[in-house]
A and B are shown apart, each in its own frame.
Chain A
């Protein structure tokens, strides 16, 4: 098979080779303990609202796109739309089926987003490689437009943003920053665990086979069509949960405008910077995307006083992000996760 064919793999997504399983499990357990117990002991409301919650949610959105694009090699610019479907579906479930507990509404919202992803992914059976951005863009624009146009989805609210219903699980109110953080963290942990299983299963293997050589995969009997559609389904479902959390646990409103094409680009940047085809990469990329603007704002205030206005800061951010994307694609196609992996091995030895 010619290596120059356009459907060849995007970027080889190498798994992070951290040695020895016990060490890894201990590390993961420590991380979870820190996130669930340690952070709530010290975090302020600002930490929750400005850093932790958006970081976790965008990591989840990046993870969803990573399943579709990083693992299965199906380029998608529909992340924002899938998040919107998740958000609106969850909103309507909470509104119309109030007896349904919150976790069930979230999960169902994810499933509905997954189905939307399945439909948007259908053309991938005929359209390959780069050309796939056309149907996914069509999905992005059409879905965004639908939520803006059809009043039923937003319960005929007069403004385009609608406030989210109160968050509660088993009568416990979750509307405080700490509560929203707990909800987000638990959802992200559960979904990540499922994704972790999935990418190591036969499904995940089929995804990567399709990514690394679609024709060869078909010839040796990998069910290519099923692999592509399942990648769109699973990826969009994860994005859907992220979208619902974005609306309920972060913004507090459901607004189609916060799920526009820029959101799709943002998710794509997260996985390019973090690492295509790496679950950990989604988190690292998200941390980078969320923290960089905050750092830049503080830095510009420190250097220039308060003289720089927000518009200029966001322009500087655009330049830095753009340059980083290009830099990563040229120098480190496997993203920060590969960089950190190399550093780690260097330190251990």
Chain B
């Protein structure tokens, strides 16, 4: 039993990190109507920049600030150069554009900073911590706690502030939002900047966990099922979806993996997501659109 709990808890901790990444997607989806595949490349870019700077002996806080500035600039530029000209095009078109974008960001980041694996030490020792009957990694706990704090801060920010209200209005009906005086360019810039910030935090946490390397971009492939399960437009959905995927992945890996003779984590979340799609096409918290003819 305690083994199961340990697996579940480990999965849920990973799930908090998925939720963090997924929130970056939800924000952009609400503002620009696209599943931003390049978010994974942004996570890699953030981690790589930070690591490169600290390896040049910049202090942590300065490296963090510089990286943040770069990420925000990058995110705002992406919105401007790539997505603005594609306004009103289909979702698949937008998706493919962000796919191309991820190539560009990954390519440039690796051209400038190399493709080798970097260690990233955030100064959190990876020691086991006993919590009642189960043992958890201290790093995972700290990472999940910081991700969780950020998740809560972001949801409050978008629940309570003017930007949050404006964002909801835009997600509901861009035309109406425009007509009541919401200035879309500012809103877009704000949301993409926040997404850049989220990419930085996610990049640091994931990078410290598994090393800063190309595979960081694959978080995007984990985020997609999370969003499908939770709904593309709901921050709460991203959190719940993240936890569901984290827990389900961990449990499937431990109990289903040996049965099938291999790691099932590449596809299990997708099967789960497809099952959700078939039953609830709009996700747990998403809104269903009315078909118009």
Contacts from A to B (Cβ < 8 Å) = 1-2, 4-6, 8-11, 75, 123, 126-127, 129-131, 133-135, 137-138, 141-142, 144-145, 148-149, 215-216, 219, 265, 268-269, 272, 311-312, 315-319, 321-326, 329-330, 333
Contact = CB atoms under 8 A, between A and B. Distances in A.
A138 B90 contact: no
30 contacts: A1-B292, A2-B292, A9-B90, A10-B93, A75-B92, A123-B274, A127-B281, A130-B90, A131-B228, A133-B95, A134-B273, A134-B277, A135-B270, A138-B270, A138-B273, A145-B262, A148-B262, A149-B262, A219-B293, A315-B110, A315-B111, A317-B107, A319-B103, A319-B107, A319-B108, A321-B100, A323-B104, A329-B89, A329-B100, A330-B97
By CB atoms of chain A within 10 A, which of B103, B105, B292 has the most?
A: B103
Interface stretch (B5-13, B80-88, B144-152, B164-172): B80-88
Mostly helix, strand, loop or mixed at chain B's interface?
helix
B261 interface: yes
Interface string B98-114: 01111111111011000
A130 B260 contact: no
Contact of B267 (A2, A8, A130, A141): A141
A145 B264 contact: yes
Mostly helix, strand, loop or mixed at chain A's interface?
helix
Nearest to A213: B293
Contacts of A131: 228, 277, 281
B115 interface: yes
B186 interface: no
Contacts of A138: 267, 270-271, 273-274
B106 A318 contact: yes
B53 interface: no
A127 B271 contact: no
Contacts of A2: 292
Nearest to B174: A4
Contacts of B99: 265, 268, 325
Contacts of A123: 274, 277-278
A316 B115 CA distance: 13
Q: Nearest 9 CB-CB pairs, A to B? A: A322-B103, A325-B100, A318-B107, A138-B270, A319-B107, A322-B104, A141-B267, A130-B91, A322-B100
Contacts of A321: 100, 103
Interface of B: 35, 82, 85-86, 88-93, 95-97, 99-108, 110-111, 115, 221, 224-225, 228, 260-262, 264, 266-267, 270-271, 273-274, 277-278, 281, 289, 291-293
B82 A326 contact: yes
Contacts of A144: 266
By CB atoms of chain A within 10 A, which of B97, B261, B274 has the most?
A: B274
B103 A325 contact: yes
Contacts of A216: 293
Nearest to B283: A131
A329 B93 contact: yes
Given A322-B101, A326-B104, A333 B225 contact: no
A6 B90 contact: yes
A268 B96 contact: yes
A106 B92 CA distance: 32
B95 A149 contact: no
A130 B228 contact: no
A8 B262 contact: no
A278 B152 CA distance: 48
Nearest to A148: B262
A5 B272 CA distance: 26
A197 B162 CA distance: 57
A1 B293 contact: yes
